[in-house]
Structure 1
């Protein structure tokens, strides 16, 4: 493989070298590191990696890409888009991929809650909690429990506001 020029991303060099089946791996697998450093500039590469992984038939990688996109979109104020990616990722994630399913379900519940679909959010978060417990996925259990507690707190605040208890005087 030839050396890449300074402005060419490593995945672009792989495509140029005819290694399309591997080009999606670099941006996708490095995504958690990337979001800590650079934000929006890498999202198009992640979307491209998702498309390439879909074409290559790498289901596990496709679910991982949907998970990363869900997290990014939710953190950046696009809960409807985040919910769509989480739903697609969950539809593809096989039952043996319990940790990924728990994370996707938790993110899905949070995205649904942010769009006002609290009943559906509670169901997804409850499923995430049960699945995490069934597979002894402690980190997932904590995240799902925390998201359920936040949802319950919002519901309690809404009830108090409806009763006029939280009005400004």
Structure 2
């Protein structure tokens, strides 16, 4: 990507990544709880099942590695490059606005690409689509920001830690209910 790293220390990236993963897990679990009453019963039931270790590892490493390579390093970088060359903004580097636009567009695509898995469980209603775009979009923006400000590894670690924190917190909430 066409940016300079703002941090010379991976320890700083790790703190940001783990913080974004933890904060994202909390925010998305809260938003998801608020939306539960509006979701079809089949999706509510799917959300309340305990994930297996295999599902968790798959989510952590497929999401954390493959999705970040495809969405941030691939799509987001491509969008930045196209906008930079097409709009001729920024002499030596793309403008901040180009990066921000690419982050949002890649996050929107990230959310849209989660719809087929949801459609395998329930019909895609307006509420189901909004939920998928909102929850995945929030994290897509957060991962995109980390990629822009730090590195692909920072986005990957945040994505992996998001799934880990979500699993732990979901388990705790299930036990308290």
**TM-score, structure 2 length as denominator?**
0.24
Q: RCO (CA 8 Å, sep 6+): is it higher in 1 or 2?
A: 2
Structure with max Cα Rg: 1
**TM-score, structure 1 length as denominator?**
0.25
